[in-house]
Amino acid sequence: MTTRINLLDWRAERRAKRKQQFLSMLGLGMAASAAVVVLALTTVSSAVSAQQERNAYLQRQIDETEQKIKEIEELEKVRDNLLARMRVIEELQASRSASVHFFDEIVNTLPDGVSIRSIKQTPEGVTIDGTAESNGRVSTYMKNLEASPWFQNPMLVVIKTSEQEQLRRGDFQLRVKALKAPSDAPSSESGEGGVQ
């Protein structure tokens, strides 16, 4: 039988085992750290990816909202255009009504013995040419125009008196300002200006 003698110091052997244990623990620690780093990177990468998807969704929603805002602005322009057209139509309707009232009032204010040859609208007002049996009838006509809510400021421009076959006749021209709608007349329009 052979005898085995260990010539190595027991302390050196223990040191070598500890060194080997330390290196294996160090390897395990490094592997665990690498796993933690990979896990963290994966988590961060998935979080970044999720946030990018959210950002893309929000950007799509913002683009859709901006498109809808543009459509709304275009619709508002169309609405404003239609409202402007409606106002023009209402003004035309009002002026048509005012023309009827104008001519109706011309006839209503006309006294007996006065006839009208022509009516012209000028920037200063309405010019009326006519004939009358006497100057008093022209004066009555002017008073009637002044009393009418559709007219104001009648002014005699010229009057010429002539006699034919023992009849006196006066040719006259007067100017009066016509209102679109008088303030005390039962009408919805208001404002001043010549009849159109």
Residue 176 has pLDDT above 50, yes or no: yes
Residue 196 has pLDDT above 50, yes or no: no
8 Å CB contact between 106 and 121: no
Helix (H) or strand (E) holding 128: strand 125-132
* Mean pLDDT to the nearest integer, 136-158: 85
Rounded-to-integer distance, Cα 38 and Cα 20, Å: 27
Token representation of residue 142: 């002017």
Q: What is the structure's pLDDT at 180?
A: 61
pLDDT digits 0-9 by tens, 41-91? 999 999 999 999 999 999 999 999 999 999 999 999 999 999 999 998 888
Q: Return the minimum-mean-pLDDT range out of 8-12, 53-57, 192-196.
A: 192-196
Q: What is the pTM for the complete model shown?
A: 0.46
Rounded-to-integer distance, Cα 145 and Cα 155, Å: 10
* Mean pLDDT to the nearest integer, 139-153: 86
Q: What is the structure's pLDDT at 189?
A: 42
Q: What is the structure's pLDDT at 14?
A: 84
Token representation of residue 68: 């809808």
Q: What is the structure's pLDDT at 181?
A: 57
Pick from 81, 100, 167, 97: nearest CA to 132 = 167
Q: What is the structure's pLDDT at 8?
A: 64
* Mean pLDDT to the nearest integer, 158-180: 78
Confidence of residue 182 (pLDDT cuts 50, 70, 90): low
Q: What are phi and psi of 110, to 5 degrees?
A: -75, 120
What class has domain 87-178?
alpha beta
Q: What is the structure's pLDDT at 183?
A: 54
Residue 32 has pLDDT above 90, yes or no: yes
The torsion region of residue 153 among left (phi > 0), alpha (psi -120 to 50) and beta comes to left
Helices (H) and strands (E) in the chain, counts: 2, 4
Half-sphere exposure of 172 (CA within 13 A, CB side): 25
* Three-class SS state of 169: strand
Amino acid letter for position 188: S
Q: What are phi and psi of 125, to 5 degrees?
A: 150, -150
8 Å CB contact between 163 and 177: no
